Chain A
């Protein structure tokens, strides 16, 4: 269920587990303390409250320790995030266009398609822009998304760790068929990918006519077989 398709995605899961783990401890601590106090210091057991106005040492502790904790969280989150983005030198570049309501991918050799194929053995940099309103290119299995903004280019770097087909969704609300803007990302062995890149040419990708949920562009797949 929690499918991952890259080392980057696994690292995101690790950061998630780290933060959630610490959070669960804090949540349990707070909740258990609260419930315990309500029983232990109920008006029956403890008819007269002890008036405690504060405790400087305690208050310093519970500022300092959480500060350290959140700085650790910040660091792992930041480090994980910039891992791929900071180094996209020499990556294979694919252009991504988003529009209401579909996607278009354009390869260096001029090939165009409406589902995305990328090679396994290399980083791929998606350079993206929108033809109309905002969209967001979201690949859950890669734990990555980035908005597409008209008149401006944004990017995502992918470094897959296995072949396969993965869902791509639009994550920035874009009107009527926002929820039906699914397409597929296919990761292929390099040789397969090269084959696909050539065989497809100069055939133009057909617009995905599926108005229902994700269906692959059958045509390109058939060529591969």
Chain B
């Protein structure tokens, strides 16, 4: 039932073929088309991801034996710092919104582009400048930054390594994030197709919309905090340095006021993608649309109140500790509700477990582990033991990697045919996923146990009794990386010689599946009028036959 649109493939100009003022590389670097900008982001992020992954590979290698294997402690400390900075600021925060959001937000709401296309391109330039500054800082005289991605004072004020440049990079990246947020909020408010009310928006859009608000509200705080550290480092005004009467805990508060909400910037868009993929492959309307949409907003706002749970052992007052613990448990609830809704959506569906759906299943499993171990860390008695151990490292990799990055991969496989008009080898994609999941759990589940046994994080060296588990984890990292590489190679081959995919290979119902693959420059021949909710499969034929 999905192929009725294929015939239109021949007689239109898609956005790759379209000749604008510039051609070749300039046709990309100066294009204000949201689709090209989305692909620029995706390309940059995949590149940075591979760099971050390589750093992780070498860290694991160094931990094969206690003591020195292939690098000294200074190098190790720089590696985990760079790994963290790259994965957080260059991969996962721009992540799904900047890449897939740019490509699909306008199409899903029936718009020709975002509200401010030039600003959109400018955001990508800020992102690139930020990334290049971060790279350039490695070659400055001080040497690569070694503070950890959290930049805690007073260490960040005293280390001899180059701190100011990477901080300025993060500052600039923050602006990129804010401007994208502004663009998305405006676009969702102003450019929805006729008939597309807020409660007919696809859940991916709800997620992007909530995320955009956090970006706008939260990011200026980290920007200011970063500037304060720079000022403190340059002029020693005594804000955070206790030796000059400053307060290091103030820095932690300012840092986490942004950086906790930032974890929702990372996860909400992924949740949105999940809410797209499950209905498509189950041919079924989502269970509890309202609850999922509203819980995104709820998470966005309650999530701004729980930053203190990163600081249970920082020396803040015991009263704040229990208040933050309490709020943390409350904010866990909407995420749990979403998982129940997704699984319930599968009930009485008509499920075809194709590649993107399998990635989502892996996500639900891994993200649940991440979320549930979050409860262990939200509880005071257990967190005091586990804070800053490998247990935390395991927890956040399950959430950010098993959660967001797995869905980033799912989205790549889901929208690949739409973005490129071609299909990859689904069998190999599934095998790659299986390998990844096995390696992932070997690597990170071991960390939970190491953490409970008292292995602190950011350790170049460790007690001999931990060696067996460290080696097992390192072998896991090889397995996982093999899976990741297989996945990317397979996608790359699909890009080069994949078969034509048709316009709607999965049988999706949201608007992007009604336009040709790849879409034309302004997406629609004629802006559609929306009559039904995004997943009302009872109207599937009517919606998808109404083709552009």
Question: Which residues of chain A have a CB within 8 Å of any CB of chain B?
Answer: 1-2, 11-12, 15-16, 19-20, 23, 26-27, 30-31, 33-35, 37-38, 41-43, 46-55, 58-59, 62-63, 66-67, 70-71, 73-74, 76-82, 85-86, 130, 132-134, 136, 138, 140-141, 143-147, 149-152, 154, 167, 169-180, 182, 212-214
Contact = CB atoms under 8 A, between A and B. Distances in A.
Contact of B454 (A31, A59, A140, A177): A140
B325 A132 contact: no
29 contacts: A12-B385, A19-B375, A34-B343, A34-B361, A38-B346, A41-B348, A41-B351, A52-B284, A59-B337, A66-B333, A66-B336, A67-B333, A76-B379, A77-B378, A77-B381, A81-B321, A82-B380, A85-B318, A138-B454, A138-B456, A146-B384, A149-B248, A149-B315, A151-B245, A152-B249, A169-B454, A176-B73, A178-B459, A213-B461
Contact of A176 (B77, B291, B379, B538): B77
B343 to A, nearest CB: 5
Contacts of A50: 284, 348
A175 B77 contact: yes
A38 B348 contact: no
B381 to A, nearest CB: 3
Where chain A touches its partner, the secondary structure class is mixed
Contacts of B318: 82, 85-86
A23 B375 contact: yes
Contacts of A34: 343, 346, 361, 364-365
B463 A167 contact: yes
A11 B321 CA distance: 19
Contacts of B146: 175
Interface in B28-63: none
Given A46-B350, A62-B337, A79-B381, 6 more contacts: A27-B368, A53-B289, A59-B341, A77-B325, A133-B154, A178-B459
A136 B457 CA distance: 12
Interface in B373-426: 373, 375-376, 378-385, 387-389
A212 B336 CA distance: 45
A84 to B, nearest CB: 10
B371 to A, nearest CB: 9
B154 A23 contact: no
B325 A74 contact: yes
A179 B459 contact: yes
A175 B81 CA distance: 11
Given A53-B289, A177-B73, A172 B388 contact: yes
Contacts of B321: 81
B284 A49 contact: yes
Nearest to A169: B456
B36 to A, nearest CB: 36
B458 interface: yes
Interface of B: 66-67, 73-74, 77, 146-148, 152, 154-155, 158-159, 242-243, 245, 247-249, 282-285, 287-291, 313-315, 318, 321-322, 325-326, 329-330, 332-333, 336-337, 339-341, 343-344, 346-353, 361, 364-365, 368-369, 372-373, 375-376, 378-385, 387-389, 452-454, 456-464, 536-538
A37 B381 contact: no
A173 B351 contact: no
A146 B315 contact: yes
A37 B353 contact: no
Contacts of A170: 456
B381 A80 contact: yes
A112 B247 CA distance: 28
A85 B319 CA distance: 12
A16 B452 CA distance: 10
Nearest to A141: B454
Nearest to B251: A134
Given A16-B452, A27-B372, A80 B380 contact: yes
A132 B454 CA distance: 24
B349 A78 contact: no
A144 B373 contact: no
